[in-house]
Amino acid sequence: MAVRVLVVGSINMDLIVRCPRLPGAGETLAGDDFATAPGGKGANQAVACSRLGARTAMIARVGGDEFGQRLRRGLQEEDVDVTHVRVDGEASTGVALILLERTGDNRIVVVLGANARLGDEEVATASQALAESDVLLMPLEVPLPVAKAVAAAARERAVLCVLDAGAATPTAVDIGLPGLVDVLSPNEAEAEILTGIPIKGRDDARRAADRLRDMGAKDVVVKLGRDGAYWSGPQGEAHVPAFRIDPVDTTAAGDAFTSCLAVSLAEGYGMVDAIRRANAAGALACLTLGAQPSMPTAGALEQFLRERI
């Protein structure tokens, strides 16, 4: 039976500008091309979980605009249950401006829009939905009081809570959110924001993970990009190397990683094996332009892993 994933998170329309490099202050730079693609860390992760074979439901908001209609319809087409994706007529749909360099690296500016208006209604809905969920997957592109309340509900119901630290802020630490999380997965920049430790390599990742565990997180998985991931938890610690690829677009690779990590853990994989699978999902996501379009299927993931045994 497929695992059941509940995603509480953000839905955005990504506005992607491909450019030779980032412009300097006051500089006007000619871009290569422009595209729109469905995104938002929550929606990316919902699509990724669904493509990996999980029964996936999402709790979120979109605005009462064309972007919102397109994004909600797109989630339905990916077999994501959008019953609780609310259309908020008083807000715009979230957008993300993505500057994508030819190297595959990116810089992102997010306007949360309707994502910032999640509140008590979504918390109540999530509390009920968790009764029929195996794992809660949540990024930080939602109001922190909502994230804390939903994580607390998952803890009360003994549902595995996986928190992607995307859009990290020190306030998440101040309100005690790490102490409600089973698996906390920041990238290097997010780990620094949460701990104050600059991440320059594996030793720094270990120190940051230890600090996050001191804050109450059970397992911490620090995403290290080209260097794979570092894990620290009650059962041990490990560095799991990345797969070698030539990236096209690194946007949402972290979403693919955390989604695969959550699904794999819910399916019963041990932490190291789950991280290896997550590294593969992140690598596959780097081979396609765009966020949701790049989320790998279960078949693509298994083929990728077979070819790299």
Residue position matching structure tokens 């695992």: 3
- Tokens representing 218 are 């059970």
Q: Which one-letter amino acid corresponds to residue 299?
A: G
Q: Give the C-alpha separation, 183 to 270, whole Å.
A: 13
Question: What is the side-by-side strand order in the sheet with 183-185?
Answer: 81-88, 55-63, 4-8, 135-138, 160-164, 183-185, 219-223, 229-233, 236-240
174: annotated active-site residue? no
The residues, ordered by sequence, that sit 6+ positions from 28 with a Cβ below 8 Å of its Cβ are: none
The residues, ordered by sequence, that sit 6+ positions from 177 with a Cβ below 8 Å of its Cβ are: 144, 147, 148, 151, 163
Q: What letter does residue 267 receive in the DSSP assignment? A: T
Q: Give the C-alpha separation, 55 to 298, whole Å.
A: 13
Q: Kindly name the residue from 79, 81, 255, 273 that is annotated as catalytic.
A: 255
Q: What SS3 state is found at 183? A: strand
What residues act catalytically?
A: 255
